[in-house]
Amino acid sequence: MRTVIVPEWLIDGTGAPPRTDYALAFDDSGRITAVGPAQEITAAENDAVVHAPGQTLLPGLINMHVHLSLASDNSPFVPYMEAHSDVALALRAVRNARASLEAGITTVRDCGARLTTVLDVREAQVSSLVPVARIVSCGWPLTISGGHMRPFGGEVDGEVGARHMVRRVISAGADFIKVAGSGGGTPGSISDQPSFLPDELQSIVRTAHGLGRRVTMHCTATAAVANAVAARVDSIEHGYFSVPGALFGFDDAVAEGLAESKIPVTPTLQVTRDMVEMAPSEADRELWRRRRDAQWEMIRRLHRAGVRLLVGSDAGWRYTRFNDLWRELEELVVCGLSPLEAIHGATGGAAAAIGRADEFGTLRPGLSADLLLARGNAANDVGSVANVDAVYLAGQRVTLAAGLV
Ligand SMILES: [Zn+2]
């Protein structure tokens, strides 16, 4: 049996403008079989037909940066990790991957968990043990001794040590390698300084590439971004340009090198937006407003320089939830992207950045029928992807019952 969907607007995830009078069909294999003018995709007697006037059909969204095992409640990170067993973390991850799916996010890219907790959940999803979003996971991230995210278990130093750790993570089943290239929100780490030395980074990238895995690097310091470009990582998380003692340390030469390298950046602006709105004290909110203003300016400049931007929210971290990636899409529009550019960064552009463009991320025959139907014209108002009407993962319609956030 086929299902034919006839929306008002169809956005195919390639960056192309929305189509009207278009339809999409998929069959029981869970794969898209046809996309084209509605009059050419005529339904047979047994086909299910979904008419969706006033709605946009687009590929299921990809959240490029989440931490499925974290609780979105601004818990202090180190005590939280000490208080939770691996099983407790995995159960949390199941719940968060379900909340993502019901919000139209059919793939999440986990950028750090403790050891194999999220890899195990990924396997449970693949085996249909849990009805959650598809998971792409780094396993656990590499960090220097005392570095950012060390409670996840990836502290390592030296070229040889780093090589060992990359091999162990890949052997455990990691889809990609995550490396903390600067400090961050973990107490004791230094967010405005780079962490790994250039030789260590080169060892990580060479080892990972030799085993067919991509590397993404957390960078919240200008010097870390420069290191990432020099080491030829495959993508950058956050991409903030700070220098010791100053939130805003934009460097035009580093930005130009980044644009030339074609390395994409996932800015994760939502985590800051959420702190501006939800931090408990006015003094905190003011601090986060200053960070937000600096980040907006950096990301605007990166966009103008021609750096490719992808969509990830850092969900799990601080207050950021799993069901509202539209908030990140809106942040990128504030920074100068068109709604279509932003959607591309959460669909076809994201799938390409993780090497999965032949499986999902755009609407074309042969790809997984990962679909989102949302009320409104998403090409005019990107926030309308919040108005979820239907979600399909590999052609299976998702029951939108739990209302998880
Ligand atoms: Zn993160």
Structure confidence by residue, pLDDT tens digits, 1-60: 899 999 999 999 999 999 999 999 999 999 999 999 999 998 999 999 999 999 999 999
Same-domain check for residues 236 and 313: yes
Question: What is the whole-number distance in angstroms between the Cα of residue 215 and the centre of ligand 1?
Answer: 14
Amino acid in the structure at residue 49: V
User: How many domains does the structure of the chain reveal?
Assistant: 2
Q: Pick from 324, 343, 373: which residue ends a domain?
A: 324
Tell me the two tokens of residue 157.
């130093």
CA-based R_g, the chain, Å: 20
Q: Indicate if 376 and 281 belong to the same structural domain.
A: no
71 and 95 Cβ atoms separated by less than 8 Å: no
Q: Where are the alpha helices (DSSP H) in 156-197?
A: 159-171
In whole angstroms, give the CA distance from residue 85 to residue 88: 5
User: Looking at 304, 324, 344, which one is the last position of a domain?
Assistant: 324
User: Helix axis angle, 159-171 relative to 198-210, nearest 10°?
Assistant: 30
Q: Is residue 341 part of a domain?
A: no
Q: Is 96 in the same domain as 203?
A: yes
Q: Does residue 100 belong to any structural domain of this protein?
A: yes
- Give the pLDDT score at 404: 66
Torsion of CA 348, 255, 332, 8, to 10 degrees: -30
CA distance 58 to 351: 14
Is residue 185 located within the same domain as residue 101?
A: yes
Asked which of 303, 324, 345 is the last residue of a domain, the reply is 324
Q: Within a 10 A sphere around the Cβ of 87, how many other Cβ atoms?
A: 10
Same domain membership, residue 154 and residue 47: no
Q: How is the beta sheet containing 235-238 ordered, strand by strand? A: 176-180, 214-219, 235-238, 265-266
Q: Report which DSSP code applies to 240.
A: -
Residue 330 to residue 381: CA distance in whole angstroms: 9
Ligand 1: distance of its center to the CA of 67 in Å?
6
Q: Are residues 73 and 41 in the same domain?
A: no
- Please state, in angstroms and rounded to a whole number, the distance separating the CA atoms of residues 135 and 160: 30
> Are residues 126 and 35 located together in one domain of the fold?
no
Pair 48, 141 in one domain? no
**344 domain-assigned:** no
How many Å apart are CA 40 and CA 248, to the nearest integer? 53
Average pLDDT score over the chain = 97
pLDDT the model gives residue 401:
79
Taken in order 168, 129, 110, 13, the sign of the CA dihedral is: positive
- pLDDT tier at 402 (50, 70, 90 boundaries)? low
Residues 170 and 318 occupy one common structural domain = yes
How far apart are the CA of 192 and the centre of ligand 1, in A? 16
Residue of 138, 212, 122, 227 lying closest to 182 (CA atoms) = 227
Spacing, Cα 76 to ligand 1 middle (Å): 14
Same domain, 65 and 47: no
Q: How far is the CA of 317 from the centre of ligand 1 (A)?
A: 7
Contact 301, 250 (CB under 8 A): yes
Asked if residue 397 is part of any domain, the answer here is yes
* 16 part of a folded domain: yes
270: three-class secondary structure by DSSP? helix
The CATH number for 49's domain is 2.30.40.10
* Length in residues, the chain: 405
Is residue 330's pLDDT more than 90? yes
93-152: per-residue pLDDT in tens? 999 999 999 999 999 999 999 999 999 999 999 999 999 999 999 999 999 999 999 999
| Residue 343 counted as domain residue | no
Report if residue 308 sits inside a domain: yes
Structure confidence at residue 405 (pLDDT): 61
Could you give the CA distance from residue 291 to residue 248 in angstroms, rounded to a whole number?
A: 9
pLDDT of 295 reads 98
How far apart are the CA of 65 and the centre of ligand 1, in A?
A: 6
| 241 vs 405, residue with greater confidence | 241
Residues 168 and 288 in one domain: yes
Residue 105 located in a structural domain: yes
Distance 307 CA to ligand 1 centre (A): 20
Same domain flag for 198 and 217: yes
- Distance (angstroms) between ligand 1 centre and the Cα of 185 equals 9
Please report, rounded to a whole number, the percentage of residues in the chain having pLDDT higher than 90: 98
Cβ contacts of residue 214 below 8 Å, gap of 6+? 176, 177, 208, 234, 235, 354, 355
pTM reported for the whole predicted model: 0.98
Distance 61 CA to ligand 1 centre (A): 18
Q: How far apart are CA 322 and CA 102, in angstroms?
A: 10
Secondary structure, 3-state, 378-403: CCCCHHHHHCEEEEEECCEECCCCCC
**Distance between Cα 201 and ligand 1 center (Å):** 19
Spacing, Cα 331 to ligand 1 middle (Å) = 17
**Quick one: how far is CA 287 from the chain centroid?**
25
Give the Cα separation of 161 and 166 in Å (integer).
9
CATH of residue 165's domain is 3.20.20.140
Range of the domain at 383: 2-59+357-404
Going from the Cα of 316 to the center of ligand 1, the distance in angstroms, rounded, reads: 8
Give backbone dihedrals phi and psi of 129, rounded to 5 degrees, phi first: -80, -30
**How far does residue 276's CA lie from ligand 1's centre (Å)?**
18
**Ligand 1 centroid, distance to 1 Cα (angstroms):** 41
Would you say residue 89 has pLDDT above 70? Answer: yes
What digits encode the pLDDT tens for the residues 163-218?
Answer: 999 999 999 999 999 999 999 999 999 999 999 999 999 999 999 999 999 999 99
Q: Phi, psi (5° rounding) for residue 297? A: -65, -40
Query: pLDDT tens for residues 298-317?
Result: 999 999 999 999 999 999 99
